[in-house]
Amino acid sequence: MVILTLNCGSSSAKYQVYDWDAKDILAVGVVEKVTIGGSFINHKLKGKEEITIEHDCPTHTDAVGLIIKTLTDPKTGCLPDMGVIKAVGHRVLHGGDKFTKSVIVDDTAMAAFNAVKDLGPLHNPANIMGIEAAKKVLPHVPHCAVMDTAWHQTMPPESFLYAVPYEWYEKYSVRRYGFHGTSFLYTAKRAAVLLGKDPFQTNLVICHLGNGSSVNAVKNGCSFDTSMGITPLEGLVMGTRAGDADMAMPFYVMRKTGMTAADMENALNKKSGLFGITGKYTDRRDIQKAKLDGDERALLAQNMEAHRVKKYIGAYQAVLGRTDALVFTAGVGEFAWFIREKILDGLEGTGIVYDPEANKIACTRNTESIISKPESKIPVYVIPTDEELVMTEDAFALMAGTYDIHTRFNYSFQKKDYVNKGRAEGLVEELRKKPELEKYMVKPR
């Protein structure tokens, strides 16, 4: 049985093809620069080198078509035809407060996604287009939506409500929703395995750091608080998003400049964050290089990003009362050791003592690592996220009728002997080149 997962972003479309019976990935890839010109697909078959094919994709429908063509092509594909796909899992950024778990997509679900698409203007329209395009090609298989917001529906009112007129919540559903939920679900379950604890007796602070970033306080295995808000704009300093700011600031700048509400929304979402401070960079590698070359604004941007994450770590330790582990995940959290270093430096007073050597070496997607010293009261893990696996397992369980909310559902990766075959193969090759990594690999207790 083959399951396809699709993750359509504002200008990209990621995919994975998974052989359920073999528990193995057949192909992965991404179509980049969708809608903006110069589109291309990066495609990798199991056991083969990645290839790049240029192909214009003015819409996400075109991108899904390119993915299907690539997957079924005799030279580049892994499927004889699309008929072997038995379910499709879709990432949906914003499900509002209507969903506490993944669902099979029907007219009611699509109406709910459309109703809140203004709350996720960069992602929800693309998510919806991806679902519609895939359903046209595969109309007779279940399409399953996995919402970023569903994980956070366990937050208590003191965490999710804003101190604004209460009728805004009652009439317009103004509240904190939180995002990156699929990643937090995976890493929370894996952290419990590494700690040897019941997931529902585990407290964690998880830092999902990428172009979009957020922190999650996990109490007794469930989301308790998170840094993103009604939209993904709130919280950390991100690639192009401002994160936390005085709510009166936009009105002040609008009065001074004549900017419209649309202008301000665009500026805070697309022209702020690291890009706003540096004037040109969002990629942390570019910022690191510029910093080393003496660019003071690159240094400032890096310091601001780390400072904001550090504040959230301390705040969430306070609201949890007991923290069993600190976790880093996602592209920046997994690979940008220089950002982790700035975040972790000086946290000894909170019970966190990191190992600088381990931190520099543990930059991999192929294994879970520990980057804290033995004397650290709170272990610090780097756990490569696997949102696609969560989507795949949710889609299969929905199709089979065995799925339920995560507090009543067990994933394969919650087992102590769980192995990701693709990552295990990659680890063998990586250890040949970097044998020192083995010292910091962490195994389930």
Amino acid in position 83: G
Q: What is the residue extent of each domain of the chain?
A: 2-147+399-414, 198-383+419-440
Give the integer Cα–Cα distance in Å for 148 and 226: 12
Per-residue pLDDT of the chain (445 residues; tens, 9 = 90+): 899 999 887 778 899 999 999 999 999 999 988 887 889 999 999 888 899 999 999 988 899 899 999 999 999 999 998 889 999 999 998 888 888 899 999 999 999 898 888 887 778 888 888 898 888 888 889 999 999 999 999 999 999 999 999 999 999 999 999 999 999 999 999 999 999 999 999 999 999 999 899 999 999 999 999 999 999 999 999 999 999 999 999 999 999 999 999 999 999 999 999 999 999 999 999 999 999 999 999 999 999 999 999 999 999 999 999 999 999 999 999 999 999 999 999 999 999 999 999 999 999 999 999 999 999 999 999 999 999 999 999 999 999 999 999 999 999 999 999 999 889 999 999 999 999 999 999 988 7
Catalytically active residues are 148
> Distance between CA 353 and CA 351 in Å, rounded?
7
**Residue recorded with tokens 């990659």:** 426
Give the three-state DSSP class for 166.
Answer: helix
pLDDT for 129: 86
Residues 6+ positions from 86 with CB-CB distance below 8 Å: 1, 2, 3, 141, 399
- Give the dihedral of Cα atoms 152, 153, 156, 160; nearest 10 deg: 70
Pick the CATH number of 198-383+419-440 from 3.30.565.10, 3.40.980.10, 3.40.50.450, 3.30.420.40: 3.30.420.40
Report d(CA 146, CA 387) in Å as an integer.
10
Model pLDDT, residue 15: 94
Q: Which residues of 140-154 are buried (b: 16+ CB within 10 A; e: fewer)?
A: ebbbbbbbbbbbbbb
Regarding pTM above 0.75, the answer is: yes
Check if the beta carbon of residue 169 is closer than 8 Å to that of residue 177. no
Spatial distance between the Cα atoms of 156 and 159, rounded to a whole number of angstroms: 5
Q: Tell the residue number behind the tokens 């990629």, with chain if given.
A: 283
Pairing of strands 222-226, 12-19: unpaired
Fold match flag (2-147+399-414 vs 198-383+419-440)? yes
C-alpha 318 chain-centroid distance:
24
Strands (DSSP E) found in 67-127:
85-92, 103-104
Q: How far apart are CA 306 and CA 232, in angstroms?
A: 18
The pair phi, psi for residue 246, each rounded to 5°, is -60, 125
Q: Which CATH number among 3.30.300.30, 3.40.50.300, 3.90.228.20, 3.30.420.40 corresponds to the domain 2-147+399-414?
A: 3.30.420.40
Q: What is the DSSP letter of 374?
A: T
Structure-block tokens of residue 395: 């889609």
pLDDT of residue 28: 93
Tell me, what's the pLDDT at 126?
A: 84
DSSP code at position 229: -
Classify each residue of 377-392 as buried b or exposed e, where b means 16 or more C-beta atoms within 10 Å of its C-beta.
Answer: ebbbbbbbbbbbbbbb
Q: How far is CA 304 from CA 54, 243, 382, in A?
A: 37, 11, 22
Supply the pLDDT for residue 123. Answer: 81
pLDDT value at residue 36: 79
In this structure, the dihedral spanned by the alpha carbons of residues 81, 144, 130 and 388, taken in order and rounded to 10 degrees, is -80
β strands within 46-189, DSSP E: 51-54, 85-92, 103-104, 143-147
Burial 310-341 (b: 16+ CB within 10 A, else e): bebbeebbeebeebbbbbbbbbbbbbbbbbbe
